[in-house]
Amino acid sequence: MSGYGDYSDELLSRFTPHPSEILEITDFDHIKPEWAHKINSITQEDVIINDLTWDPDLNNLTTCRPSSGILETIWVPKQETSGDFVMWWDGDTVKGVNHAVNSGEYIVGRLKDHTLLTREYNCHPESSQIIFPYQNDPYLMLLGRGRGSNLQLKLLHVKGGEGVHIMPGTWHQPPIPLTPRQVFQDRQSLCHLCIVKDNIEEKQQWLGIPFGNFLPIDKTNHG
């Protein structure tokens, strides 16, 4: 899981996103089905859990760990887990906790000059993940595929009442709330390989999510 990187004021002032690192906002019509697709309920589809095929090339690109935290474990039991995925704004910072995998609290990004700056994203090569909101509020999802020069990242704007089924191997982040606090239902593999990429470490640049159209965050009827 990503989200444990440094988001200090010092780091925010040291690096800025290159124009090529500012993500474009899109909708489901422009997301390939092998990346992710829309669902209308949390139980509409099953979580995909395939046998894990170890790719030694990933060692040169990423940090790998099963969600159990046991680094030497490569065999993955085919068992699903579920729980609430809680996301909220704390001042200029987006934070989250995924109770499905007991993630603890982590940071997704910080807002600076109407741009949400973020650095990490991850994928699960052998399993999918299903996200569905409890509230009828829109939200954002960072999605991507590929590696190196073939890497493509997009920012999906999801309407209220719609969920996302993230396919195996798709880069992603937790859902980014467009209200002060949003809670999602999360279904995924209990033990999975988490491949993490860090834009600050690899490129010394932030990824930028344009947020001007979503400000100010409406606090009406949200605690």
50: domain CATH number is 2.60.120
Contact 212, 111 (CB under 8 A): no
Domain residues for the domain of 171 are 23-207
Checking if the pLDDT of 111 tops 70, the result is: yes
Q: Kindly state whether residue 13 falls inside one of the protein's structural domains.
A: no
pLDDT in tens, 71-96: 333 444 578 899 999 999 999 999 99
Element (H, E) at 110: strand 106-112
Q: Kindly state whether residue 113 falls inside one of the protein's structural domains.
A: yes
Q: Kindly state whether residue 12 falls inside one of the protein's structural domains.
A: no
Instruction: Name the least confident of 32-36, 56-60, 84-88, 89-93.
Output: 56-60
| Total of domains in the chain | 1
Q: Kindly state whether residue 216 falls inside one of the protein's structural domains.
A: no
Percent of the chain with pLDDT over 90: 60
Q: Kindly state whether residue 46 falls inside one of the protein's structural domains.
A: yes
Checking if the pLDDT of 175 tops 50, the result is: yes
Determine the pLDDT at residue 16. Answer: 85
- CA distances 141 to 60, 65, 120, 138, 173, Å, are 26, 22, 13, 10, 7
This prediction has a pTM of: 0.86
Name the residue type at position 197. Answer: K
Q: What is the CA radius of gyration of the chain?
A: 16
Instruction: Name the least confident of 52-66, 96-110, 145-159.
Output: 52-66
Q: How many helices (H) and strands (E) does the chain have?
A: 2, 17
Instruction: Name the least confident of 25-29, 64-68, 153-157.
Output: 64-68
Q: Kindly state whether residue 156 falls inside one of the protein's structural domains.
A: yes
Instruction: Name the least confident of 28-32, 97-101, 130-134.
Output: 97-101
Mean pLDDT for the chain? 85
Nearest to 174 by CA among 91, 83, 92: 83
Q: Kindly state whether residue 69 falls inside one of the protein's structural domains.
A: yes
Determine the pLDDT at residue 53. Answer: 57
- Compare 2 and 169 and report the one with higher pLDDT: 169
Determine the pLDDT at residue 52. Answer: 63
Checking if the pLDDT of 64 tops 50, the result is: no
Determine the pLDDT at residue 99. Answer: 93
Nearest to 48 by CA among 193, 217, 221, 189: 189
Determine the pLDDT at residue 48. Answer: 93
Phi, psi angle pair for 7, to nearest 5°:
-125, 35
Q: Kindly state whether residue 78 falls inside one of the protein's structural domains.
A: yes
